[in-house]
Amino acid sequence: MDVLPVTSEPGLDPSDPYAREAQTFPQLSPEMAERVATYGTEERVTGGTPLFSRGDRNVDFFFVVEGAVELFDLDSEGAPHVFAVQGEQQFTGELDLFTDHQILVSGRTRGDCRVVRVKPHDFRRLVSTEADIGEIIMRAFILRRVGLIRHAQAGVVLIGSGHGADTLRLQSFLTRNGYPHRLLDIDVDPGASGFLKCFSLTPAQLPVVIAPGRTVFRNPSNAALADDLGFSEAVDPAHVHDVAVVGAGPAGLATAVYAASEGLETVVVEALAPGGQAGTSSKIENYLGFPTGISGQALAGRAQVQARKFGARLIVSRSVSGIDCKSTPYRLLLEDGRVVSARSVVIATGARYRKLDVPDLAKFEGQGVHYAATAMESNLCNGEEIIVVGGGNSAGQAAVFLSRTVSKVHLLVRSGGLAATMSDYLVQRIESSPRIELHTRTEITRLAGRRFLEEVTWVHRPTEEATTRPIGNIFVMIGAEPNTEWLNGCLELDGKGFIRTGQDPEGRALASPYATSRPGIYAVGDVRSGSVKRVASSVGEGSVVVQAIHGFLHPGVV
């Protein structure tokens, strides 16, 4: 494998997938090559022949027997840029081979070649049947996508103000969906003005997303961008799935993995990106099996790949606006008018952080007020003084993570302390950190700024003493509100809007603790009344509910 030099970095560090050549671009053994050949057809291809092009869907998998295949993307002028070459006993592809998404790269033969072409259906059969080969392919595909993201290859260019609400929205959407991109911040990047001039754009037209081939999308909605870039999937309203999962947080993804792996035809509908609220966590350190911790986005990314490996479909960037639950199969109504039909439904829409009750909050949302604390948000406030609001684990994780790069974290809580609401390991880290200052019984009362947040006032309630600081970023993580408004009376809810499960309206026990007031509709994770708001418990509920689904779909068998 010949990886061409990456000019954006002077060298490759050990965490770079391109430095892990044996895993990112592996060579299969002769015995493995023989097994791969049984799933496809060997072909002789002349030099310079295109094998696949950016934007294609349902692309074939190619194993190189003799010769080499060039992988390339397009530069801003639309000219090809070869960034890798697959040689003998290596293979093409990355994560989009598991989906119906448009692929990100193009491939052509370098000189005359002999390849094994494996069609999409046979490729999925290869991965699931030949476990050792499938593991090598899966690891390589994940690392290749990480490499594309890290080096901003085969992606798009986002131009806008780095602190602007729509720029942050689009950047977050691309990041959380694992789509390679490069941000040109007009406030700090000297190269941004050249891009604006080249594409005849004015600052008032920003943000824009520029795709290869000089296609410009001007401040698109998330759904429109997903369609424009080809990572939305078609829906056949007449097709009835075994299981439809609403929400791709830990509970929904766990349901998808276990349902699909057990032979149930599964579709997942997600409004924004896989991971849910957990996907915005910088690091989860108490999740079983990850002693050094794992980010919520990384955990979600692995889970969605796992679900797709078993055949689950994910419809991303589409909200469910309603449900027709008066008859079966149930029909989920999407915001764009499309319909998803299924014999059973699992609701895993989770919960969202509550908002501060303070004037002008809406003005600064996305422009100083944030509901996630990932590396993207951390870059916005490097070396600055910030505020984290909340006393739960999410707030604690955010405070610890952000304290690495900011000058000071003010952690504001309304209660008298953290011990009752936060894990002990986080409390200890907060208490020992010289950069985190805890303010108990304290609330924000005022936000100020012209375009972006510039100043914050908080009050210590026991003394009514007010403090005003020049702060430009607040991270709000205060409790949860269920995402159940779209149910429109279909299911029984508790007084706070969470879905009641396990009992019928008369208090009699149902067949499953996750069963709702409608047969065949289940609720798991944070959206369920009485659930434990932890990633591990959500994953557990998502896995266990599949047994109840089998019992509903196949009564008397389970």
State which amino acid sits at residue 10: P
- At 196 the pLDDT is 86
What is residue 5's predicted lDDT score, i.e. its pLDDT? 39
- Name residues whose C-beta falls within 8 Å of residue 471's C-beta, 6 or more positions apart in sequence: 384, 385, 386, 387, 410, 453, 454, 455, 456
Query: What CATH number is attached to the domain comprising 83?
Result: 2.60.120.10
Among residues 115, 150, 185, the one where a domain terminates is: 150
Which residue pairs from 211-219 have beta carbons closer than 8 angstroms and sit at least 24 positions apart in sequence?
211/156, 212/54, 212/73, 212/74, 212/75, 212/78, 212/156, 213/74, 213/78, 214/76, 214/77, 214/78, 219/166, 219/170
Q: What is the pLDDT of residue 121?
A: 94
pLDDT of amino acid 77: 67
Under DSSP, the state recorded for 487 is G
* Same-domain check for residues 22 and 126: yes
The answer as to whether 259 is a domain residue is yes
Q: Are residues 272 and 138 in the same domain?
A: no
| Residues 9 and 83 both lie in one domain | yes
Q: Do 145 and 51 have their domain in common? A: yes
Q: How far is CA 224 from the centre of its chain?
A: 17
The CATH number assigned to the domain holding 220 equals 3.40.30.10
- Examine residue 267 and state whether it is found in any structural domain, yes or no: yes
Number of domains present in the structure of the chain: 4
Residue 45: strand pairing partners: 113
- Are both 23 and 144 inside the same structural domain? yes
Would residue 234 count as lying in a domain? no
Q: What per-residue confidence (pLDDT) applies to 8?
A: 40
CA dist 484 and 478 (Å) reads 18
Of 183, 184, 169, 154, the residue nearest 219 (C-alpha) = 169
pLDDT at 6: 41
Token pair of 208 as six digits: 């824009």
- Residue 12 is predicted with a pLDDT of 56
Q: Read off the amino acid at residue 225.
A: L
CB 383 within 8 A of CB 409: no
Residues 146, 6 share a domain: yes
What integer pLDDT is reported at residue 281 of this predicted model?
Answer: 86
Whether residue 438 sits in one domain with residue 381? yes
Q: 307 and 244 in one domain? A: yes
Q: Can you say whether the dihedral through the CA atoms of 416, 420, 424, 426 is positive or negative? A: negative
Residue by residue, pLDDT tens for the chain (558 residues) are 444 434 344 455 778 999 899 999 999 999 999 999 999 999 999 999 999 999 999 999 999 999 999 999 877 667 888 999 999 999 999 999 998 899 999 999 999 999 999 999 999 999 999 999 999 999 999 999 999 999 999 999 999 999 999 999 999 999 999 999 999 999 998 888 888 888 888 888 999 999 887 789 999 999 999 999 998 888 898 999 999 999 999 999 999 999 999 999 999 999 999 998 888 888 898 899 999 999 999 999 999 999 999 999 999 988 999 999 999 999 999 998 999 999 999 999 999 889 999 999 999 999 999 999 999 999 999 999 999 999 999 999 999 999 999 999 999 999 999 999 999 999 999 999 999 999 999 999 999 999 899 999 999 999 999 999 999 999 999 988 999 999 999 999 999 999 999 998 888 899 999 999 999 999 999 999 999 988 999 999 999 999 999 999 999 775
Which of 467, 510, 469, 477 is closest to 491 using CA atoms? 510
| Residue 235 falls inside a structural domain | no
Q: Please report whether residue 190 resides in a domain.
A: yes
Domain limit, last residue, from 479, 504, 526: 479
Q: What is the pLDDT of residue 558?
A: 55
Last residue of a domain, one of 123, 150, 177: 150
Residues spanned by the domain of 271 = 240-350+483-553
